[in-house]
Structure 1
Amino acid sequence: MSDPQNKSSTAIQNQVLTGEEVWFEYPVRAYPHHTDYGGVVWHGTYIQWMEEARVECFKSIGLDYADLVAMGCELLVVELSTRYHRAMPMGATGIVKTRMNTGNGVRLNWDYQILSEDRSQVYLSAQVTLVAVDTEKGKIMRRLPPIVSEAIDRLEMMR
């Protein structure tokens, strides 16, 4: 099933402009260890790929997740909504598309799509909400650390 609204028009490194939207793209391949006994990608693998894409998206705009953790901040998943459209077969290559939606305070909302490399198949669509947590106190932060806010500003400027 193809989504004509999400056809890329211009690629800038891994960021793809789609009309007014900017998606970060992360390529993946379904190796045997990513699959279940049926030879299709195991449901948890998609979630791992989504996290990898999010970390790489941040890295592409100058926020290294390891630096954030070293500062005592983690971005924890508090909500995850996933729709599996079609199973991705072993050996297939695909694209994980991600973008940050408008957040609310310390909540960061991310959209995802996992597509076939030729974009003719949608394997998954998802939304994830993260919150910034002070790892020392074990509590949600009242405001995002400056390096996260600056990275978000860079993402917003790309919209």
Structure 2
Amino acid sequence: MIKEQPQLSPTGAIQKPSQMADGTWFEYPIKVQPHHTDYSGNVWHGSYITWMEEARVECLRSIGVEFADLVALGCDLPVVELSVRYHRALRMGMTAIVKARMTDIDGVRLNWDNQIQSVDGEELYVTARVTLVAVDREKGKIMRQLPPAVKDALARLSV
């Protein structure tokens, strides 16, 4: 008897990303370096995930939330869910824009959409949906609520 592989149901982020409150994405430019690629010169799949994390961290920094400050508050934001669709490969030497936006906050869960596209916006390379959850670093447990300063800052990003 042949078992079917479980299929990932498409998410709204992969099919049609939503808009931030002001309709914009945080944009983070990247250039593909040799260490981002596999032996064929195509970007290794994990590099895209690294770039998306860098874009989220920089987006937070742009609104005054430094990741180091979160750590100092005893809060960490690990990824608990990730859904990625690879549309087209980037290659060594290419440049692209990594776009990130937080779509909503559900308690201590932060949902983010990402796109990686060409600088001119004509080519779409990756779409993704990432869910983070606030964890108390000292206790190693999910927090009951976000620290007030973090919640107030994040409210400016959510739709």
TM-score (norm 1): 0.85
Q: Secondary structure at the match of 2:89?
A: coil
Structure 2 partner of 1:65? 67
User: Contact (CA 8 Å) 2:25, 2:101: kept in 1 or not?
Assistant: yes
Per-residue deviation, 1:152: 1.1
Counterpart pick for 2:121 among 114, 119, 122: 119
Query: Percent of aligned positions with the same letter in both sequences?
Result: 63
Structure 1 partner of 2:84? 82
Q: Secondary structure at the match of 1:40?
A: coil
Q: CA RMSD in A?
A: 1.9
**Alignment gaps of 5+ in structure 2:** 1-15
Per-residue deviation, 1:71: 1.5
* Structure 1 residues 144-155: aligned runs within 5 Å: 144-155=146-157
**Alignment gaps of 5+ in structure 1:** 7-16
* Structure 1 residues 7-156: aligned runs within 5 Å: 21-156=23-158
Query: Matched residues in 1 for 2:28 and 2:21: separation?
Result: 19
Query: Matched residues in 2 for 1:23 and 1:125: separation?
Result: 13
Query: Matched residues in 2 for 1:105 and 1:43: separation?
Result: 30
Per-residue deviation, 1:18: 8.5
Cα deviations by residue, 1:33-71 (Å, 9 ceiling, x for unpaired): 100011011100000000000000000000001110111
Q: Which runs of 4+ in 1 moved over 6 A?
A: none
More strand as a share of residues: 1
Per-residue deviation, 1:20: 5.4
Q: Tell me how many residue pairs correspond in the alignment.
A: 143
Q: Relative CO higher for 1 or 2, CA cutoff 8 Å, sep ≥ 6? A: 2
